[in-house]
A and B are shown apart, each in its own frame.
Chain A
Amino acid sequence: MTGLRAELVLFLQRRGQSLEDAEDIVQETFARFHRAGHAIGQADSRPLLFAIAKNLLKDHWKQAGRERARTLWLDTDDTTAAWENAPSEDPAADRRSIARQDLAGVAAAIRELPPRCRDAFLLHRFEDLSYRQIADRLGVSVSMVEKHLAEALRRLKAARGT
């Protein structure tokens, strides 16, 4: 984990950030990462951390650009305040949690999945089976299992959206 932290700091420094700024951004990167419910040590943790850091870096650049613009214009007018305080987007913040919504509704949506799709989803989510084990259980290929699972997620998302 400290390795990843150092890598991210270096990545940001190479893109023109001071050590101090880079460390701040990395700090915020990890905060967002955990707030979104991710955990270190999963296959996706490294790519996600870098993606979050890149987003923050973009924000940082925008911010810096505005700072410079403001000093140039010598503009202390309040009208710029709203513009400046535009919230930087945090994907975690607007993630709707179904835990807070009607769980029974989600259960119903799972029941309504096409049978094979539902079976694959149930075995994956509640029996801790690997894709290979699910494939053997259902008598299909691993790639078919993945198609079923992705389809299940798409349908559950659609059901939640309504």
Chain B
Amino acid sequence: MLDRLASLFEAKPRSAEDWVVRLGRPDAPRSTLAAFERWLAADPRNLADYQDAKGLLRDTRDLRAELVGELNLIPPAPMVARRPKKTGWTPVALAGGLVATVLAVAIAPTLVTRLRDPLAGAATYTTAVGEIRDVTLADGSVVTLDTATTLRARVDGKVRRLALDKGGAYFAVAHDKVHPFQVDLADRQVIVTGTHFATSLRDGRARVELLEGSVEVSQPRHSAEPVRLVPGDQVTYQAGGAVRREARIDPATAVAWRQRRLVFQDAALSEVLAELGRYTDARIRLADPALGRQRVTAMLSLDGRGTVIDRAAKVLPVVLKRTGPGEVVATAR
């Protein structure tokens, strides 16, 4: 609403690049399209420039793996990203009605989920930052919870239902064809009968890695075929988005965190620090962003004496220095 209003006052796109970006909005209004047509007609070079800029953007599509280190370094959303809603006017006569509406909205979803939620009454397992824990479920399946994880499980029904709410988990599923094992992950399900696989949900991105057996990832639309994984496959998705196949995993080093260690083979330092950051409350910052590009091959033990930062300092090619409470800065050695 505010976005739409603001769009009335914003600057008109001037260059081909401006136009490519502006037309990337989900719903370009008629007036914008008309202005775009006028711009195209104004100079024959504009069409060529536009296609060039759009093509440039399209051509970067295969670079995700290359830039995943930089992606991981993007700081999470600031806590107060949006201004608190303030109406600015509070007519007394309407106040009662407003309160009632707000309450109804707040309660309705809880009621609905209560009635429908197959995970009602599920056991909840959590780990703190830096903690890794094995849990044996009632059906004999063993789940290893990674750092900062919340998992709910209810395995006594027809379907063994679990939900990974955040963090990461590795599953060694007890074989039982009659009772499918199903993990809710973001807006879809991972369904298996007996297998070894890992799931994670971090910063809104869900990931499924398969080590043994087979799993299917359902699609949010029922009409769509589920995505089937074979051992070594890895997929990611975001709620509402398409399932994306990622680079094949190396079964020897994948989910090494389960053995309380992190293994990096020729990984960007930025990626290594992002991963490390999940096991500590401290925020790790690069003194020089260029440092993040350095490639690292290292094995890091997640438990043992001292903090995980102390141990990392011994194996990584950087100096990790505590600069304040909860802050660590990485500088070149």
Q: Does A97 lie within 8 Å of B55, measured CB to CB?
A: yes
The listed residue (B18, B70, B78) touching A118 by CB distance below 8 A is: B70
The listed residue (A48, A91, A127, A146) touching B22 by CB distance below 8 A is: A146
Q: Does B59 lie within 8 Å of A131, measured CB to CB?
A: no
Interface-side segment among B44-52, B88-96, B224-232: B44-52
Q: Mark A142-156, 1 if CB is under 8 A from B, else 0.
A: 110010011101101
Q: Mark B198-220, 1 if CB is under 8 A from A, else 0.
A: 00000001000000000000000
Chain B contact-residue range equals 35 or more
By a CB distance below 8 angstroms, the chain B residues around A65 are: none
Majority SS at the chain A contact face: helix
The listed residue (A52, A118, A153) touching B20 by CB distance below 8 A is: A153
B304 adjacent to chain A (CB < 8 Å): no
By a CB distance below 8 angstroms, the chain B residues around A136 are: 77, 81-82
By a CB distance below 8 angstroms, the chain A residues around B58 are: 37
Q: Does A51 lie within 8 Å of B41, measured CB to CB?
A: yes
Q: Mark A66-110, 1 if CB is under 8 A from B, else 0.
A: 000000000000000000000001011011111100011011001
Minimal beta-carbon separation of B53 from chain A (angstroms): 5
How many residues on the A side are at the interface (Cβ–Cβ under 8 A)?
58
Q: Does A154 lie within 8 Å of B15, measured CB to CB?
A: yes
B40 adjacent to chain A (CB < 8 Å): yes
Minimal beta-carbon separation of A151 from chain B (angstroms): 8
A132 adjacent to chain B (CB < 8 Å): yes
By a CB distance below 8 angstroms, the chain A residues around B64 are: 125-126
A149, B19: Cα distance in complex, Å: 11
Q: Does B28 lie within 8 Å of A122, measured CB to CB?
A: no
A16 adjacent to chain B (CB < 8 Å): no
A3 adjacent to chain B (CB < 8 Å): no
The listed residue (B27, B41, B71) touching A127 by CB distance below 8 A is: B71
A10 adjacent to chain B (CB < 8 Å): no
Question: What 10 A-B pairs come out closest when comparing CB atoms?
Answer: A91-B48, A153-B17, A51-B40, A43-B28, A139-B78, A150-B17, A47-B37, A149-B21, A107-B66, A98-B59
Interface residues of A (CB under 8 A from B): 36-38, 42-44, 46-48, 50-52, 54-55, 89, 91-92, 94-99, 103-104, 106-107, 110-111, 115, 118-119, 122-128, 130-132, 136-139, 141-143, 146, 149-151, 153-154, 156-157, 160
Interface residues of B (CB under 8 A from A): 3, 6, 10-11, 13, 15, 17-28, 33, 36-37, 40-41, 44, 47-48, 50-64, 66-68, 70-71, 74, 76-78, 81-82, 205, 238, 241, 289, 293
